[in-house]
């Protein structure tokens, strides 16, 4: 057994309520996956992660069913062979639930220095110490098998934005060639995962649809990858600064072409209102660093209170935009019913209310805005932890509400 995907209900808009059965447990979808870059969801102990949403008065247990880890970071430090010798990622980091690793491609293209791309793979220098490394599709899969997540990703090229049609098509062709090589290596070695014998199971491999912002290329990419028959499909290369209508259109057009009986994953999105929208369109899985990254920078998400109306701006689509790192003077805004709150602002210095009176998370049940502002201003590490827990709870609760709606 590697993966079993059971769709329980589909809405006329295409949204699906499903269960994704993996070797380390079952994931209720649509799901938001917190990002544990270096085998840690930054600043949040696993005990806290497991309690998010548990024992609350809300209708759903929203604790995360699955988290992500980044192959590039773990390959460089502590090294995939070290993790393999310690039994794989689940055992190394003491996380018994399902996990997914990315291919390392995105980080190689965005973080590593002096990279050189050839049809064979990518040469790069570590952002840590400048040492030279080479990633090919085969090597990426070898590293991901050693790490041992339940789901791993084919190695792909991430084209820069904006890019011409010709440049995007060439990049997409390379991604397709690398997808075929990733799958061939995986099929030959998938029973080498550290827990294969213990669980009598193995990993699953997802392909990644590319094609930039060009519908014809997205179509071609989806068709080619479906022919290769992956266990699931990701839509990559979005939320890189394009207008939000374009992101939505690329997702909608690609979803139409992907098989209904396999999970569909949009990588690296987004703001809370976006993940809700995409889930209702039929996206089953999403991940983003935003809840934890924004939390560490004092940006908190909450639902608008009845009658409340703040200046409205759509959520920015580039997750790395300045808006996720507000200063004390950054005004608060609203997108739909979701407020982007800036805990650094002076108005919270003596505010005894919780971040969100309707949130049942362990932070909102215990701590005040005044205390959270104090922790942030005093640069106390607990501030980053509590802010991250609330934002994660907010994201996970958002998806729990969508799941309940889709099942109706």
- Sites of contact with Zn ion (CB under 5 A): 359, 361, 363-364, 390
Structure tokens at 321: 């935009």
Is the CB of 30 or the CB of 53 nearer to Zn ion? 53
Count of CB atoms within 10 A of residue 235's CB?
A: 27
d(CA 308, CA 304): 6
Shortest gap between Cβ of 97 and Zn ion (angstroms)? 22
Shortest gap between Cβ of 393 and Zn ion (angstroms)? 5
What amino acid positions are annotated as catalytic residues? 102, 287
Is the CB of 28 or the CB of 391 nearer to Zn ion? 391
Nearest CA to 159 out of 110, 230, 219 is that of: 110
Shortest gap between Cβ of 355 and Zn ion (angstroms)? 5
- 53 touches 393 (CB < 8 A): yes
Shortest gap between Cβ of 269 and Zn ion (angstroms)? 22
Is the CB of 75 or the CB of 394 nearer to Zn ion? 394
CA atoms within 13 Å, Cβ hemisphere of 357? 6
Shortest gap between Cβ of 381 and Zn ion (angstroms)? 19
Structure tokens at 286: 């999403």
3-state DSSP assignment of residue 299: strand
Q: Crossing angle, helix 272-281 and helix 381-406, to 10 degrees?
A: 30
What are the backbone dihedrals phi and psi of residue 120, each rounded to the nearest 5 degrees, phi first? -75, -35
Is the CB of 45 or the CB of 243 nearer to Zn ion? 45
Is the CB of 18 or the CB of 288 nearer to Zn ion? 288
Q: Which residues have a Cβ under 8 Å from the Cβ of 206 and sit 6 or more positions away?
A: 151, 152, 153, 154, 230, 231, 232, 233, 234, 263, 265
């Amino acid at each position: 057994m590697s993966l079993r995907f059971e769709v329980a209900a589909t809405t006329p808009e295409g949204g699906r309520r499903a269960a994704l059965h993996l070797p380390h447990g079952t994931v209720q979808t649509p799901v938001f996956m917190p990002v544990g870059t270096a085998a840690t969801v930054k600043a949040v102990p696993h005990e806290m992660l497991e309690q998010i949403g548990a024992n609350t008065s809300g209708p759903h247990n929203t604790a995360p069913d699955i988290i992500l880890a980044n192959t590039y970071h773990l390959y460089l430090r502590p090294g995939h062979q070290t993790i393999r010798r310690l039994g794989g990622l689940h055992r190394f980091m003491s996380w018994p639930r399902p996990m997914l690793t990315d291919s390392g491609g995105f980080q190689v293209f965005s973080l590593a220095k002096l990279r050189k791309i050839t049809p064979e793979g990518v040469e790069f220098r570590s952002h840590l110490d400048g040492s030279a490394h080479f990633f090919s599709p085969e090597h990426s899969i070898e590293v991901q098998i050693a790490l041992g997540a339940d789901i791993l990703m084919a190695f792909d090229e991430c084209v820069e934005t904006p890019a011409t049609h010709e440049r995007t098509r060439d990049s997409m062709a390379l991604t397709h060639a690398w997808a075929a090589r990733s799958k061939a290596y995986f099929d030959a070695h998938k029973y080498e995962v550290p827990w294969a014998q213990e669980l009598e199971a193995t990993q699953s491999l997802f392909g990644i649809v590319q094609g930039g912002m060009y519908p014809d290329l997205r179509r071609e990419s989806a068709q080619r990858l479906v022919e290769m028959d992956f266990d699931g499909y990701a839509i990559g290369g979005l939320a890189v600064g394009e207008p939000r209508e374009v992101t939505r259109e690329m997702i909608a057009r690609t979803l139409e072409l992907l098989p209904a009986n396999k999970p569909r994953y949009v990588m690296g999105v987004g703001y809370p209102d976006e993940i809700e929208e995409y889930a209702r369109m039929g996206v089953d899985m999403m991940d983003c660093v935003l809840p934890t990254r924004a939390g560490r920078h004092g940006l908190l998400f909450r639902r608008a209170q009845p009658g409340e109306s703040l200046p409205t701006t759509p959520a920015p689509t580039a997750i790395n935009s300045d808006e996720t790192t507000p200063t004390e003077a950054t005004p608060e805004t609203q997108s739909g019913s979701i407020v982007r709150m800036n805990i650094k602002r002076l108005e919270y210095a003596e505010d005894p209310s919780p971040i969100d009176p309707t949130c049942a998370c362990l932070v909102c049940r215990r701590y005040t805005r005044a205390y959270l502002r104090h922790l942030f201003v005093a640069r106390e590490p607990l501030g980053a932890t509590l802010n991250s827990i609330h934002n994660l709870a907010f994201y996970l609760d958002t998806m729990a509400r969508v799941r309940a709606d889709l099942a109706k």
